[in-house]
């Protein structure tokens, strides 16, 4: 059911510093910072030949990644995002398999203006999984 790896998201405390690590030290193609107030994060996308890295920095006081950074003060891998052809069909199949879809199961519009859902890490090998409609 899942298709391509769309991106790996890394939570960071300082997105400017993290961008420089990817731009200068790793020699990658790094986007400008984009604020996503509806999601409580600032984002940067790093384009690699086969996938992307999404840097996430907390934005605002109730950012969904604030707790993660409390537990992981150096930052760390926050989620992986897989593409699916039909996000509602994927949701229904996963629920039928007993997997937990976060929130009320209604897809939200994600950072790429496409519908996304998140799946409970306890059902997926300890990893928060984002599904994005391809």
**Binding positions for Co ion, rule: CB under 5 A:** 9, 54, 81, 130
Find the shortest distance in angstroms from Cβ 71 to Co ion. Answer: 19
For Co ion, which is the closer residue by CB, 83 or 130? 130
Q: In the numeric block, which tokens belong to residue 121?
A: 């890490």
For Co ion, which is the closer residue by CB, 54 or 83? 54
Annotated catalytic, 20?
no
Residue 71, Ramachandran bin (φ over 0: left; ψ between -120 and 50: alpha; else beta): alpha
For Co ion, which is the closer residue by CB, 94 or 111? 111
Residue of 54, 57, 83, 130 with catalytic role = 130
Find the shortest distance in angstroms from Cβ 117 to Co ion. Answer: 11
Residue ranges of alpha helices (H) inside the chain are 15-20, 66-71, 87-96
Q: How many CB atoms lie within 10 A of CB 48?
A: 13
Pairing of strands 115-119, 129-133: antiparallel
Q: How many Å apart are CA 54 and CA 50, to the nearest integer?
A: 14
Find the shortest distance in angstroms from Cβ 75 to Co ion. Answer: 15
Q: In the numeric block, which tokens belong to residue 6?
A: 């769309």
Known catalytic residues are 130
């Amino acid at each position: 059911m899942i298709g391509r790896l769309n991106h790996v998201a890394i939570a960071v405390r300082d997105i400017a510093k993290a961008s420089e690590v990817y731009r200068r030290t790793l020699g990658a193609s790094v986007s400008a910072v984009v604020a996503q107030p509806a999601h409580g994060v600032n984002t940067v996308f790093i384009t690699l030949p086969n996938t992307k890295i999404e840097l996430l920095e907390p934005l605002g006081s109730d950012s969904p990644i604030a707790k993660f950074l409390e537990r992981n003060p150096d930052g760390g891998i926050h989620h992986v995002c897989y593409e699916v052809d039909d996000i509602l069909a994927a949701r229904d199949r996963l629920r039928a398999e007993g997997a937990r879809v976060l929130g009320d199961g209604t897809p939200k519009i994600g950072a790429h203006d496409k519908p996304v859902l998140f799946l409970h890490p306890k059902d997926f090998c300890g990893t928060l999984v984002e599904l994005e409609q391809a």
